[in-house]
Structure 1
């Protein structure tokens, strides 16, 4: 049996190469996902190019980017997109179709259009915004109410990140030493891995949300590299619907990402976010500073007012005491004069009455004697005896009353003088100046005089007033 006509495998491969070279002699623009870049140590890249439908790969081809082309493409791509080439990007390739006997059909990548990628990123950003808006959650996080003093912070960052270090240093380095309670939830902050990493940490924080006032996502260094993850719908939705205010400082200066737009507040850098939090404390602290500046003057004014009031009360008390003493003296002298006048008047009245009685008796006796002298001699004699006896008794009574008045008057005057002296002594004993002279002192703090209800505490400034001087002290 004759051997049929045949070709070697190499001949077949060479025929295929020529056919492809002739059929696909020009270059083409092809869209595909760069599944893996596969860069070698020599600088060449052999990316795996795929096309997906319903998350399944329907086409896969090998690509080649020679070192010289890769360096040019990478530089140009970064200048426009602000990110390096990485796995999973949808790209527009300028390719030439090639065939290699060992590696089969492949695409030699001559160039990559960065503007297509930039447009794809912008499309993703816009689609995410429209989807969040349609679901009514675009401004959900921004509508939350921030705590008056947000000091308990859940921080999503990398422990070795310069941005995290700067953020914590600024918070703890304020001259007034504001106190923040921070807890780090470490996560990847750039690239596709950041999407799940940040979401996982948000889920952890949600479980203990009662311990925090806000969530801070900070990322330092790297410029705008790896920022496309912050346009992802799932990550943006997790931030928009989070029950605590989410603050971002991810080092991005232009063309804000979706996550920054829907966050409660965003800052260009972690430092900007630290300054924002410190500004809240400073704004609340400003009235206290103003009060501290005014307090010494107000205290001085209050003390001076209290001293003036005390001096006025002291002078008024002295005047009242002197007026009371003068009134008592005048009253006493008036009583003495009234008593002397009464005694003299009574004595004069008694003498006058006695004289009138004597004159009447004499007149009556003389008339009676003259008219009935002869008939009533015996009666006259009896009348004279009776009159003398009556006069003697009256005189004796008057003398007894006079002696009694003379004996009683000095004692009454002495008793009244003693009462007056005792009243004057009691008034002098309660005089504040005399109390201070006995070694006592008046001690006051900012609330007033120290007492069982107003006790001094450590650090209080005290004012001590003695008879000779006024002192200030501080409780240790």
Structure 2
């Protein structure tokens, strides 16, 4: 018959076996997949991933009791500036523990912060390498912060003391400068830092023309929970942002990746406010210096021009006399030239008139000769056509009613006609028109 034992006896046997077989403490490398605090105790889930496929290859639970956890957590946060959170790689000292009621777990007795610091630094180096390969690492630094930066988009928690300090310092600056901060609320501690800040940046980007720069500030809390500022996605958003980004997230111990890619990084929110105030102060000083230089240049130029005018005033009488003499000489020359030109024109016109007179006289004489000859010809023709001369040659002219008869058809019986001869005339009455006696 098989020997039977109770579950408690079995668990106690396992407990004793583990206690005898694994009495030592072990330093274990692992990644935190979950971590939670309950009544001062810390409960962790550890995981190991395949470096090539990122697939989990081992899992385990680990507990750190309250008495130990207070010391371990304080030491870790003081050394790293961050709180233990999922995704961190840790090196912890553990020993095996099997409890008959609660099962197996690793009991954490210590955590080496230097290991986590090394892993965090490695992650930061990897993010920086990717950003430089993408060519965006220095993009935001290449932007020019406006000399008159007064419209400030602020990414912060609305309830953060650091945001209040930032606004107070801007409003009460000793120079009386006016700033216009607009809050874009975001989670600045714990989980969700990355997504919250990116969402705030998206909102600012949609109204980028309304702002001169962006200020990301965090203050008034613990120096832990800053791992959210060391992410590739957030760094890429800030590096590619179209406005200069100023960070003041209180990361006293180390520079975060967000600080590295920002246009300007300062330690605290008040330092960010001081930077903006100093920027306006430098602008005011430059403007004042420019005004002073302009005044000096204007005064010097006025003095030089006054001296120049004085010299010109002294030379005006002499110059006027010289100019007058030159003008008079010029007028005399012009007068002589006009006179000579007038005389030449008169001589030319007179010669032309004489020539035209000769031509007119010759033309008139010729015209008179031509017209006289023409009149003589016409006179002879008129004389030859004179009826008297025709009558002298033995011809007669028969008239009826004072008009010459050219055809018998023009006459009718009873018409009285007059016939003119060289010497005298006689009348007759028409009796027969066609061949009959008259």
Structure 1 residue 56: deviation in Å? 5.4
- Paired residue for 1:125? 124
Q: Indicate how the Cα distance of structure 1 residues 223 and 13 shifts in structure 2: closer, same or farther if over 3 A, else same.
A: closer
- Cα distance in 1 for partners of 2:116, 2:293 equals 62
Structure 1 residue 34: deviation in Å? 2.7
- Cα distance in 1 for partners of 2:56, 2:105 equals 17
1:223 and 1:252 in contact (8 A); partners too: no
Q: How does 1:284-299 map to 2 (within 5 A)?
A: 284-286=283-285
- Paired residue for 2:364? none
2:170 and 2:277 in contact (8 A); partners too: yes
Q: Indicate how the Cα distance of structure 1 residues 121 and 178 shifts in structure 2: closer, same or farther if over 3 A, else same.
A: same
Tell me the SS of whatever aligns to 1:243: coil
The question of 1:49 aligning with 2:54 is answered no
- Paired residue for 1:160? 159
Q: How does 1:179-194 map to 2 (within 5 A)?
A: 179-194=178-193
1:156 and 1:184 in contact (8 A); partners too: yes
- Paired residue for 2:66? 67
2:147 and 2:280 in contact (8 A); partners too: no
Structure 1 residue 177: deviation in Å? 2.7
Q: How does 1:68-467 map to 2 (within 5 A)?
A: 68-222=67-221, 224-286=223-285
Residue by residue, what CA displacement relative to the aligned partner does 1:210-243 show, whole Å, maximum 9, x if unpaired? Answer: 2212111011123532222222111111111111
Structure 1 residue 79: deviation in Å? 2.7
- Cα distance in 1 for partners of 2:293, 2:134 equals 53
Instruction: Give the greater-gyration-radius structure (CA).
Output: 2
- Paired residue for 2:327? none
1:99 and 1:106 in contact (8 A); partners too: yes
- Cα distance in 2 for partners of 1:296, 1:121 equals 57
- Paired residue for 1:22? 20
- Cα distance in 2 for partners of 1:44, 1:127 equals 34
Residue by residue, what CA displacement relative to the aligned partner does 1:44-84 show, whole Å, maximum 9, x if unpaired? Answer: 22222233455655433222212221122122212321233
What RMSD over aligned residues (CA atoms) do the two structures have, in Å? 3.0
1:239 and 1:263 in contact (8 A); partners too: yes
Q: Indicate how the Cα distance of structure 1 residues 185 and 116 shifts in structure 2: closer, same or farther if over 3 A, else same.
A: same
For normalisation by structure 2, the TM-score amounts to 0.62
- Paired residue for 2:30? 32
Tell me the SS of whatever aligns to 2:43: coil
Structure 1: gaps spanning 5 or more residues = 306-476
- Cα distance in 2 for partners of 1:293, 1:146 equals 25
Structure 2: gaps spanning 5 or more residues = 304-438
- Cα distance in 2 for partners of 1:191, 1:157 equals 14
Q: Indicate how the Cα distance of structure 1 residues 287 and 62 shifts in structure 2: closer, same or farther if over 3 A, else same.
A: closer
- Cα distance in 2 for partners of 1:186, 1:247 equals 16
1:45 and 1:67 in contact (8 A); partners too: yes
- Paired residue for 2:5? 7
Q: Indicate how the Cα distance of structure 1 residues 26 and 177 shifts in structure 2: closer, same or farther if over 3 A, else same.
A: same
Structure 1 residue 292: deviation in Å? 8.7
Aligned residues: 301
Structure 1 residue 276: deviation in Å? 1.4
Tell me the SS of whatever aligns to 1:78: helix
Structure 1 residue 143: deviation in Å? 0.8
For normalisation by structure 1, the TM-score amounts to 0.58
Tell me the SS of whatever aligns to 2:42: coil
Tell me the SS of whatever aligns to 2:183: strand
- Cα distance in 1 for partners of 2:296, 2:139 equals 48
Q: Indicate how the Cα distance of structure 1 residues 293 and 169 shifts in structure 2: closer, same or farther if over 3 A, else same.
A: farther
Say which structure, 1 or 2, has more relative contact order (CA 8 Å, 6+ apart).
Answer: 2
- Cα distance in 2 for partners of 1:207, 1:236 equals 19
- Cα distance in 2 for partners of 1:38, 1:80 equals 21
Structure 1 residue 132: deviation in Å? 0.9
- Cα distance in 2 for partners of 1:64, 1:175 equals 54
Residue by residue, what CA displacement relative to the aligned partner does 1:155-180 show, whole Å, maximum 9, x if unpaired? Answer: 10011212111111121222443222
Q: Indicate how the Cα distance of structure 1 residues 135 and 291 shifts in structure 2: closer, same or farther if over 3 A, else same.
A: closer
Q: Indicate how the Cα distance of structure 1 residues 288 and 207 shifts in structure 2: closer, same or farther if over 3 A, else same.
A: closer
